[in-house]
Structure 1
């Protein structure tokens, strides 16, 4: 009925009740009775079950209104740890986090994804074990591993699908291979999606509709709608790097088409144009260094790249109506040149209603976005209501 106030559904099981605690706010048994509508005995039993799993812990006492002060309970994110790994074309970043995706230890190193899955995944496993020890934890405390790869990924199977810059990786069972080294659940996604999760979780957790755009060697986007990451039917949502730029020259792209955004505005494409003009530049990082040093030609090239990106994003803004666009990746470190070009075209070409309150900003999380997002991808699965219920049932059967 129109005008009827709607209330969110109340949690009905221990796993659903645990979701209330994931905001980090301590709660009392009496408060949970009011919040859930369940009996005190039911609440007490469910708290005991969650404490026995190590997910809840006593958190002091509340102020008494007469009689014995009520005890508080809170989510204990330190109970276990998670591995978050972000692999790029030429680098790797690894982190150990707690169950709230807070980084406890991290490391990064040069790594060529073109070396192939066997040496790369063996290195990931070995480095992960060392990093867990550096964090002061044991390998048996790791409850899951999240991994981002620089190419298309079938998220449901954890397998790369025809990744252009990853020879030898197509349809490789990445979770299965890593599981032989580290016997924990392994989740795999593309690098832009995990960066999107990391940025959303740490910087814009209340933003319901957001686009995250990574601009580096390649270009891709992550889509958050209604507060959730949207991967699409086959996990290919957000692959804006291979959308044709309106009115652009037919520049060949590594995907086999011409005029793609990545072929015009990606880091290697910009560097190639600068070399043609007599300026030494081999990578996206070189382009950024030139811009920061005040090179006029490099600044102009990055601004034009921003315009090309804006031309593609303008359609996405009209289609999806995000409240915020966050730009990350190496080229986002080139200052205002890239953002200014993007804003210029989006505000010019998108519907006024769609841009009325749109904010376009650079990433706040920076290089940590990927590893935090990879860890959050794992915790969202292992701490989901159904997963917690399964753990309780398993412990009950064992006892």
Structure 2
């Protein structure tokens, strides 16, 4: 039997759920959503819809705009996402540099700062940069996310070979400086989320593979991560896929790992870095023997076939700097993966769309955590794509 406190809790939960529904409708409304439209879409009364909108406006999440087109009666007032108040901080942390971006609620970047460091100065310079942002924007910060290479449970960096971190309580440290909740996310997971953000149709069950200096993967279901119970789903770079004389020495010390054949370093040489732009990668690729590229494609295809047989994804999406290799590499992967074992079916393989603001994946994760909503394709169409 419910007591009065239970009733209040239930009422509060319903109210919060309705606020999220109304806010999501505004996010998807392209600046033309109205109170009446929210009432129709949710089945709520006009009075309740108006009350929800009033709370969202008071909270600095929604702003009134121009009057909507007349439908014969009094013209309604349109509603838009309020980009003038709350901010999301996204920190993209890499081995030698970091990109810190402040995103408004409409996904636009209002400030971007980059810092370079050595392994010895990294902690100090990151702390200084975060403290400076807290001083400049502290009152407007809503939530923050830190994207990095390595495994994380969302609070700690469990292991990052590239950063040299193990069991580092990074979220706690950043929260102490910023005064807002901080989430940690693996860089490949963030890239997989970015691929799904703003899609008009549900992406369904997808396997996302990133290929750069390292190789990682992520599984998403309707754009939401499926990280596994130990937060290590997608750690495929050091799974052995080559054997015998074909097995090359990997940087991890073992032989035959996927990275030893299919990473960009394995295919293009040690001159490759993840910081290169697509033109620089293309120049490197022209000088590489086609046999090396074919070996990398074959090793990747073996992994794709096995993972697809296990997971039955709707599609496999390949992202990262490997996109600069063009269709010749992807065609080789498709040819090698086209072999069907009994009981299996062919799975489409394509490149990631690319051109996405590098903060969007982690930013979307933070937005969902704080407000329970997602950006629309229209909002993302105005974000930068140059990675500056």
TM-score (structure 2 length as normaliser): 0.79
Deviation readout 1:302-353 (Å, 9 max, x if unpaired): 3421221121111222333333333222333233343233222222357897
Q: Which residue is 1:3 aligned to?
A: none
Question: CA, structure 1 residues 288+247, in 2 after alignment: closer, same or farther (shift >3 Å)?
Answer: farther
Q: Which runs of 5+ in 1 are unaligned?
A: 1-8, 276-280, 386-399
State which drifts further: 294-303 or 239-248: 294-303
Cα offset, 1:120, TM superposition:
5.2
Give the alignment partner of residue 361 of structure 1, picking from 333, 348, 351. Answer: 351
Contact 1:196 1:373 in 2 (8 A): yes
Summarize the alignment of residues 286-305 of structure 1 with structure 2, pairs less than 5 Å apart.
Answer: 289=280, 291-292=282-283, 295-305=286-296
Q: How does 1:30-179 map to 2 (within 5 A)?
A: 30-108=36-114, 110-112=116-118, 114-115=119-120, 118-119=123-124, 121-125=126-130, 128=133, 138-155=137-154, 158-167=155-164, 169-179=165-175
Q: Deviations over 1:160-187 (max 9, x none)?
A: 12322332x2111101111232222111
Quote the Cα distance in structure 2 between the aligned partners of 1:380 and 1:104. Answer: 20
Q: Deviations over 1:59-79 (max 9, x none)?
A: 222233334212222332443
Mapped pair 1:223 → 2:196 = no
Task: Summarize the alignment of residues 307-386 of structure 1 with structure 2, pairs less than 5 Å apart.
Answer: 307-349=298-340, 354-355=345-346, 358-365=348-355, 368-369=357-358, 371-384=359-372
What is the alpha-carbon distance in structure 2 between the residues aligned to residue 290 and residue 73 of structure 1? 44
Q: Point out the more displaced range, 224-233 or 145-154.
A: 224-233
Structure 2, gaps ≥5 residues long: 1-13, 374-388
- Residue by residue, what CA displacement relative to the aligned partner does 1:263-286 show, whole Å, maximum 9, x if unpaired? 332234345xx57xxxxx364659
Please say if residues 164 and 254 of structure 1, whose CA atoms lie closer than 8 Å, have aligned partners that are also in contact: no
Q: TM-score, structure 1 length as denominator?
A: 0.77
RMSD: 3.3
Which residue of structure 1 lines up, in the alignment, with residue 4 of structure 2? Answer: none
**Separation in structure 2 between the aligned mates of residue 374 and residue 56 of structure 1, nearest angstrom:** 22
Could you say what secondary structure the match of 1:101 adopts? coil
Change in CA separation of 1:203 and 1:67 when aligned onto 2, cut-off 3 Å: closer
Note closer, same or farther for the CA distance 1:335–1:174 as it changes in structure 2 (3 Å cut).
Answer: same
Shift of 1:203: 6.3
Distance in structure 2 (CA, Å) of the matches to 1:57 and 1:316: 46
Corresponding residue for 1:239?
235
Distance change >3 Å, CA 102–CA 381, structure 1 → 2: same
| Aligned: 1:199 with 2:195 | yes
Q: 1:188 aligns with which of 184, 188, 206?
A: 184
Of the structure 1 ranges 292-301 and 35-44, higher mean CA displacement relative to structure 2 is found in 292-301
Q: Secondary structure at the match of 1:161?
A: strand
- 1:173-212 CA-to-partner distances (Å, cap 9, x unmatched) read 1011112322221110111111111222156774223332
